[in-house]
Structure 1
Amino acid sequence: MRRLDRILSAFPECRRESAWVGARWRVKSSTVAHVFGGEDQLFRIVFQAEPGELPAFENMGPPYFRAGWGANAVGILLDEATDWAELAELLTDSYCMQAPADLAARVLRP
């Protein structure tokens, strides 16, 4: 959770809060990412993806998955093989999609 918090809390006005399950990071009233544990005791994070990228995530398969909520929501299973640099890029994209334009413009994309 600390690694995720370091990535997401670095974005302007992005804050962590408790969710119905797990925790989520929001900018204004929009959810940037949501992390939660499954019955298998593994954590997953769900975030927004560009609509044109959805088929790629669906075809990649594990550790990626299409989330059951949100039109453009995808997720990744967090484990020892997680590529944290790639995840930071995906979370940056999610933030920029969800944030107001003035806040998104302040983010340097990796």
Structure 2
Amino acid sequence: MTAPADVPPEFLDRLRPICRELPESYEEPAWVGVRWRIRKRTFAHVLTVDPDHQMAYARAVATDEPTCVLTFRSPVDELHALVAGGHPFYKPGWGADVLGMVLGDGVDWAEIGELLTESYCLLAPKKLAAQVAGPAGLCC
């Protein structure tokens, strides 16, 4: 079992290459867990939720046990579609465009790559977002 807010190294090992390849993105410790930013805007945040310490996260995820989660930005229509599909996606109680995802066995890392690239593109300056090629050859 992980300590409060500790992120399993195997998740960080998968997230880091995804986030590092985005122009001018950087990693830093967050108030809890780890976050990736473009300029001063967070486009991805990973942490292990401890219901005794991160109660808002625990309520959003509906867990009473430590659970590793990833939050990021998403277009509202896509956010609603993913949340409607249920686990592993959930809607945190903050930010209209913030989407959460429980990380665990069976995670689709290709999908996470697409979701984090899209999150980055929503927050990055247009000049940087234009440097990112999405599935259609354009940033998200």
TM-score range, shorter chain: over 0.9
Amino-acid identity (%) = 43
1:93-104 to 2 correspondences below 5 Å: 93-104=118-129
Q: Of residues 84, 90, 114 in structure 2, which corresponds to 1:65?
A: 90
Structure 2: segments with no counterpart, 5+ residues: 1-11, 51-64, 136-140
Kept in 2, the 8 Å contact 1:57–1:66? The answer is no
SS at 2:117's partner residue?
A: helix
Which SS does the other structure have where 1:68 is aligned?
A: coil
TM-score (norm 1): 0.94
Query: Which is further off, 50-59 or 72-81?
Result: 50-59
The letter of the residue matching 1:42 is T
Alignment of 1:38-57 (within 5 A): 38-39=49-50, 40-57=65-82
Secondary structure of 1:12's aligned partner: coil
1:73 shift after superposition: 0.2
Aligned-residue offset at 1:85: 0.4
Q: Which amino acid aligns with 2:104?
A: D
AA aligned to 2:25 is: C
Q: C-alpha distance in 2, partners of 1:13/1:80?
A: 30
CA drift at 1:30? 0.8
Q: In structure 1, how many angstroms separate the alpha carbons of the residues matched to 2:96 and 2:80?
A: 12
Instruction: List gaps (5 residues or longer) in structure 1.
Output: none
Cα distance in 1, alignment partners of residues 110 and 79 from structure 2 = 20
* SS of alignment partner, residue 45 of structure 1: strand
Q: Shift in Å at residue 42 of structure 1? A: 2.6
Give the match's secondary structure for 2:116: helix
Question: Where do 4+ consecutive residues of structure 1 move more than 6 Å?
Answer: none
> What does residue 20 of structure 2 align with?
9
Report the equivalent of 2:39: 28
- Structure of greater Rg: 2
Aligned length: 110
Q: What's the Cα RMSD here?
A: 1.0
